[in-house]
Structure 1
Amino acid sequence: MSIAEAYDTPVSLKPLVPPAPPRAPDNMTAFQQVRAIRQNPIGAWTQRAYEEEIVTGRFFGRGSFILNTPDAIKHVLVDNYENYTRTRFAMRVLRPIVGEGLLVAEGRPWKHQRRTLAPAFTPRAVTTLIPHMVSATDETIAKLKAASNGPVDLREAMQRMTLEIAGRTMFSFGMDRHGPALRDFVTDYGDRLARPRFLDMVFPLNWPTPQDFARRRFRKRWTKFIDMLMAERRAAGKREGAPPRDLFELMLDARDPETGHAFTEEQLGDEVATMILAGHETTATALFWSLYLLALDPAVQEELAAEVRAANGNFDLERLKFTRAVLDETMRLYPSVFLIARAAEQRDTIAGMPVRKNDMVFISPWLLHRHEKLWRDPNVFMPSRFMAPSPPPDRFAYLPFGVGARICIGAHFALVEATLALAKMIGAFRISLVDKAPVMPVGVVTTQPDRSPMFAITPR
C-alpha cells in the first residue's frame, strides 16, 4: 500500500505528460539550425535524437556527435575526459559570470580548485548549513501564507528563497539589501548576453565578438559587486576558536591537500560567484518545475503531502523518499543543465567511430532523460520510477548533476536544500495553477520556464 492509499488521497487515472517544445524538422539548413538554437536550443533537436544511440552530423564545418548511449558517455566524461574540453561558445558565455572558477577551469587549475573546495561540500559540512536552509524556507512559507488570498508567483518566490539560502550559507547574512541587485545581474545576463549569436559560434575564442564587448562590461560590474559582498562578510569577522559557520569561512580556510596553497583573492571571488550563481539559480529552477508538475498532478501532490504528514515534523531525508523521487523525476524531465558540449582536443574513437581534433561532442541530459530506448514512457511524469522496487537508472543515462570527475561539487548540498524546501512547501500548502496555459521550457544556460505562471496556494 502506498502512502497515498493509506490517506485515501486521489489516484491519477491518466498519466501526466508535461509540456515540451515540438521537435525540430529533419534536414534543417545551417542557418535554420542557428535560428532554432537561438530561439530555444531545447526545441532544436529532431525526432532522430530521441531514438538513435548516436547521431552524427556537421556543426559549422566540424564533425558532431550527439551521444545517447551510456558506454559512449562514460568514455567521454570518465574514461577519456581530459581529451574533451568546453566549447568556445560555452567559455564565452560562462567566463564573464564565473571567471576562472571551478565551472570552467581545465587541467591543473581545475584539479587544484576541486581538491581545495571538496571539504566544504562533504555531507558533514553540508549538515552544518541546514539551519540556514530551514530558516529561510520557513520565512518564505510565512510570507506566502500572508499572501495566500490571491494569486502568487512561485517562481519568483523560489528564486528569492534560494537566493536567501545562498546568501546565508555563503556569508551568514541575509540578502534583503543585495538580493534585488543580484537578481538584476542574473536576469540581465540571461536575457541579453547568454543566448548564442552566429559569430559566438564561428569566431575563434581570441577573436572578440560584439557580444563579447558587452560581456566584458558586465564582467567589470559583476566582479565589483562580488568584491563588495566579500568585503562586507570580512567586516563581520570570524569567531575566534569557533568552527567555520558558512561557506565563505570554509573557503577562506581551505588549502589544497597536495600543495598547501589557498585561493588567491581573485580565485576566491570567482569561486564565490560560481557557488552563489549555481547554488541559487539551479535549485530555484528545480523547485519551480517540481511545484509546477505537482500542480498539474494533484494525486502525486497529495502523496507527497501524506509523506510529510507521516514524518510529523521530522524532516530527516530518510523519511522523505517520495519527496526525493519527485525531485529526481522533475530533474529527469526538466534537467537544470540541458546540454553538455565538448570539443575534442585530440583524435579519438567513440563507439568505433573516429573523432577528429576539434570535433564537437554533445551530451544532452534533456535528450538522454527522454530517450525512447532508455526509459519506459519517457515523456510521462512518474516519480515511482525512482522508488523501490523499480531498479535505479543507469548511472550514465541519468545526469542531473553530470558524472565523472566533473560531477557537480554541490550536488549533495542542492539535493538536501531542494528536498527540505519541497517537503515544507507541500506540507504547508495545497498548490494549483490559476493560469492553465502550458509553460514551455527554454534553454538559457539552465532549463527555464518561458514565463512565470500564477499559482493559487491554500494553507493545509
Structure 2
Amino acid sequence: MPTLSDAIEIPARTTGSLAGLPRVVPPHRAAPERELPIPAYLRSIRDNSLEGFSRRAFEEPVTRRGLLGRSSFVLNDPEAIRRVLVENQANYARTTGTTRILRPILGDGLLISEGSAWRHQRRTLAPAFTPRAIDGLVPHIAAAVAEGLDQIAAEAADGPVDLFTSFYRLALEIAGRAMFSVGMDVYGTELRGFVAEYAERMGRPHLLDIVTPPGWPVPLDWSRARFRRRWIPFLDRIIAARGDAERDIARSGDLLDLLKAARNPDTGAPFTPDELRDQVATLILAGHETTAGTLFWAAYLLALAPELQERVAAEARGADLTDPTGCQSDGRLPLTRAVIDETLRLYPAAFVVVRRALGPDNVAGYAVRKNDIVMVSPWVLHRHRRLWSDPEAFDPGRFLPDAPPPPRFAYMPFGAGPRVCIGAQFALSEAVLSLARLLARFRLVLDGREPVLPQAVVTTQPDRHPRFRLIPRDPVGPRSR
C-alpha cells in the first residue's frame, strides 16, 4: 500500500516553463505483472477496472487475451485507435453489458443510441454546443460557482472539508443552472440519492451482464426496471417544474431552451418529450459526474504540489474572472487550463471505451472476429510508456501553449472520432473557471497523509474522501471573485 510520501519525489523538472519545480508522482497501485486469471479479471470489472490492466498493456501497442470464448483487445497504437473509432467505426457497437447498465438511467439519449438514431440526435444537438452557445451558458456557470464557493468557505470555517462531496454538489448545481436556469436546492438531494443508489447497486457490471445475450433478462434487470419506474417521473417532474417557473425567472438561454429549440436538420422535427427527457438525463448525469471528479483530482494533485499550486493561484488572482466568458480558451488562464488537461490525462473520467465487433476486421495486424471485444482505455493510453515521457508524473507543462501537442489519438479524455463528447468544451469551461476561483480564494492543504487511490467502475473516482484545509488568501478585490 503506497503512502502519501511516495507521491512526491525530489528531482526537479529540467525543461519547459515549469523547470525547477519538484517532480510529483501521485500514488497509485502498480499494474499486475501478468494477465489476471479470468475470475479475478471479472471481479476487477465489478470492483475496480483499473486493476484489470496488466503491465504489458502500458508497454505494448496492442494486447490480446481470450475472454469467454472470444478475443479481447486493448489498443494503444494511435493508428489502431483511429481505425476502430474513426475509419471503421460503423463496425463497432456498444457491448450488451454497457447498454444493460446505462440505458435504465440514461434512456436512449446521445450516449447510448446507435446508428441512424445517434446521427439524428447528434445533428439535432450540435447547435446547442457551439462555442457561441457555450458562451451563453457561462453566466449560469459563473453564478453557480460563486455561490458554491461561498458555501464551501462557510464549511471550511468549521474545519477541514470533504472537497469531493463539495465538488459533487457544485457540479450538480452548475448542471442544474445551465440546464434549467434555476438552482437545484429543491431537487439536488433527491437527484444525488438516485445517482448514488444506481451507482452502488445497479451500475456495477456483473458476469451475467457480460455473457447473457441481448434480450435475455438477468436478475439485476428487474432492479434496474424498478429504478427506472421511479426515475422517469422524477425527471418529468423537474422538467415540468421548470416550465411552470418560466414566468418567474429571467433567463439568458439555458440548455433546456436550446434543446427545445433544436430541430432535425433533415426533417425539421423537434425532440419528442421522451427524447427530450433522455437528453436531459444524459447531459446532467454525464456532465456533473465528470466535472466533480476532475475538480477533485486537480485539487488533490495541487495539494501534493504546493509550489505549482501557488503559480496557479497567482495566475487566477491576476486574471479578470468577473467576465468569465471564454476564460478557458482565450489565454487568460493557460496554466489553470494545463492543470485541468493534465488532470484529465492522469485521471480520465471515462477510463475505458469498449466496443463489440459487428463483423471481421484487421486492426494493427490482428484479425478481429465478429463479437470480439475491442477496448481503448484512456487510463492506459495516457500512461503508456511509448507515447508519454515520464507518464506517471503530474506535469501540466505538457499542455502549456509552447509545448508540442501530444500525438493524435494518444490523448482522448473525451473520446475521439464522430462520437467525441459533445459537451467537452462546456466541461472544460466549468472546470477551469471553478478551479481558478477556488485557488484565488484558498490555499489547499491535505489534512492527513494517507494516500488517495483511484478506482473505476463507471467513472474514475477516489477510493476515499480525504479532507482538505482551506486557508483563505488575502482578498484582491473583485477581479477574481
TM-score by length of 2: 0.91
Within the alignment, does 1:78 sit opposite 2:78 as a pair? Answer: no
Alpha-carbon shift at residue 212 of structure 1 (Å): 1.2
Contact 1:12 1:297 in 2 (8 A): no
**Deviation sequence 1:275-312 (CA, Å, 0-9, x none):** 01011111111111101111111011111011112214
Distance in 1 separating the partners of 2:300 and 2:43: 29
Alpha-carbon shift at residue 219 of structure 1 (Å): 1.2
State the partner residue of 2:407. 394
Residue correspondence of structure 1 range 240-251 to structure 2 within 5 A: 245-251=253-259
**Deviation sequence 1:321-364 (CA, Å, 0-9, x none):** 10000000000000000000000011111012211111100000
**Equivalent of 2:49, from 41, 46, 49?**
41
Contact 2:359 2:370 in 1 (8 A): yes
State the partner residue of 2:183. 174
Within the alignment, does 1:204 sit opposite 2:239 as a pair? Answer: no
Alpha-carbon shift at residue 36 of structure 1 (Å): 2.4
Contact 2:350 2:460 in 1 (8 A): yes
State the partner residue of 1:332. 345
Within the alignment, does 1:436 sit opposite 2:444 as a pair? Answer: no
SS of match in other structure, 1:125 = helix
Which residue identity lines up with residue 376 of structure 1 in the other structure?
S
The 1:265–1:59 alpha-carbon spacing in structure 2 relative to 1, beyond 3 Å, is: same
Gaps of 5+ in 2: 1-17, 474-481
Identity of aligned residues (%): 51
Distance in 2 separating the partners of 1:152 and 1:411: 28
The 1:217–1:12 alpha-carbon spacing in structure 2 relative to 1, beyond 3 Å, is: farther
Residue correspondence of structure 1 range 24-423 to structure 2 within 5 A: 24-149=32-157, 150-237=159-246, 245-313=253-321, 315=324, 316-317=327-328, 318-423=331-436
> How large is the Cα RMSD of the aligned pairs?
1.7
Distance in 2 separating the partners of 1:239 and 1:77: 45
The 1:13–1:415 alpha-carbon spacing in structure 2 relative to 1, beyond 3 Å, is: closer
**Deviation sequence 1:385-416 (CA, Å, 0-9, x none):** 11143201012000110011000000011111
Greater Cα shift, 86-95 or 315-324: 315-324
SS of match in other structure, 1:66 = strand
Distance in 2 separating the partners of 1:453 and 1:87: 35
Alpha-carbon shift at residue 143 of structure 1 (Å): 1.8
Distance in 1 separating the partners of 2:247 and 2:388: 50
- Aligned pair count? 450
Residue correspondence of structure 1 range 18-29 to structure 2 within 5 A: 18-29=26-37
Which residue identity lines up with residue 259 of structure 1 in the other structure?
T
Alpha-carbon shift at residue 239 of structure 1 (Å): 9.5
Contact 2:264 2:270 in 1 (8 A): yes
Distance in 2 separating the partners of 1:75 and 1:179: 41
The 1:300–1:206 alpha-carbon spacing in structure 2 relative to 1, beyond 3 Å, is: same
Contact 2:36 2:54 in 1 (8 A): no
State the partner residue of 1:450. 463
